[in-house]
Chains A and B, each alone.
Chain A
Amino acid sequence: MPVTRTRLILTTALGTLLGAGAVAALAGFVVLRAGWYNVAATTQHFEFVYRLLEQAMHYSVRHHAQTVLVPALDNPARIMRGAALYHDNCAQCHGAPGVAPGPHGMSMQPMPGPLVDASRHWKPREVYWITRHGIKMSGMPGWEYHMSEEELWDTVAFIMELPKMSAADYRATTGPRQEAAR
């Protein structure tokens, strides 16, 4: 009876799969509903979870930033405007050469990375995309509704210059101008 036998095998396989799926879903629901997962920012992710989420973020940014058109960024006036914007809006969480982030930036989970090496990991259009849209569930805000298009690019232009800057360079770019402005 090959037909009956095949049917029995298929029914058993299907039943096992559905049963296992139901048990897994129930287990997941119990863990979720019981609140056993600890959301505290003082607890860490597992290394592999962190790596996976970070890698997914990189792929997503690269994909979504593909169509962004980059204007000229090497204009000194633009970079100076970017320095002021960076100092006012980014340094609180990301710090700067010789400048610590504020306490809220230091103690976030995931930690806002330093941007002095951003140009090693990201193209300008990707930095622009991240700045404009932010990153979900990471604490990175989207600046689209809070900075003009020009301001977004000014900030990107400055971030691209950061690797070349020492602590003294950063102070010279942002410090005196800040004082003069007040």
Chain B
Amino acid sequence: MKAPLLAALAALACLLAGCGDQRPPGVNAGDPARGKVALAQYGCRACHMIPGVTGSEVYVGRPLEHMMRRRVIAGKLPNDQPNLVRWIRDPQAIDPGTAMPNLGVTERDAIDMSAYLLGH
């Protein structure tokens, strides 16, 4: 009789602690919790509004909410995790006309950022 209760408690504890192991569908790599901090530490939030990351109301870059629902990135790339990582690491190579600079994001940090963005 106590098993369901224990399972529920474990699930609740997991929810409260923000267990990072369960990635949303389509996200095959990366640590979303680390990605969230990286999105602040590379200044992404300066131009983009990002769910869960504190900052000003800003529309210099497009808001990065509901990333999972987007079909394409930057108007041309199919939206999947590898392409999002490519875009984050070198947007100018994909769209030379973009005002988004190359921010020198490492591969690991870009993967973590993409894991966070695609889960929110």
Contacts and interface: CB of A to CB of B under 8 A. Distances in A.
B56 A54 contact: yes
B54 to A, nearest CB: 4
Interface of B: 37, 40-43, 45-47, 53-56, 58-60, 92, 96-104
A134 to B, nearest CB: 18
B45 A167 contact: no
A44 B54 contact: yes
Contacts of B99: 97-98, 116, 166-167
A98 B56 contact: no
A100 B101 contact: yes
Interface of A: 42, 44-47, 50, 54, 95, 97-101, 103, 105-107, 109-114, 116-117, 166-168
Given A107-B43, A117-B60, A100 B102 contact: yes
A8 B69 CA distance: 65
Question: Which of B42, B56, B59, B99 counts the most A-chain CB atoms under 10 A from its CB?
Answer: B99
10 contacts: A42-B40, A44-B40, A44-B53, A46-B54, A97-B99, A98-B99, A100-B101, A103-B104, A111-B45, A117-B60
Contacts of A100: 43, 101-104
B102 A112 contact: no
Contacts of B56: 50, 54, 113
Those 9 A-B pairs whose CB atoms lie nearest each other, nearest first: A100-B101, A106-B43, A44-B54, A111-B46, A100-B103, A97-B99, A107-B41, A114-B60, A50-B54
A97 B98 CA distance: 8
A82 to B, nearest CB: 19
Given A44-B40, A107-B42, 20 more contacts: A42-B40, A44-B54, A47-B54, A50-B54, A50-B55, A50-B56, A98-B92, A98-B98, A98-B99, A106-B41, A106-B43, A111-B43, A111-B55, A113-B56, A113-B58, A114-B47, A114-B60, A117-B58, A167-B97, A168-B97
A90 to B, nearest CB: 13
Contacts of B101: 95, 98-100, 167
A164 B92 CA distance: 19
B46 A113 contact: yes
Contacts of A46: 54
B25 to A, nearest CB: 27
Contact of B58 (A95, A99, A114): A114
Nearest to B43: A106
Contacts of A42: 37, 40-41
Contacts of B41: 42, 106-107
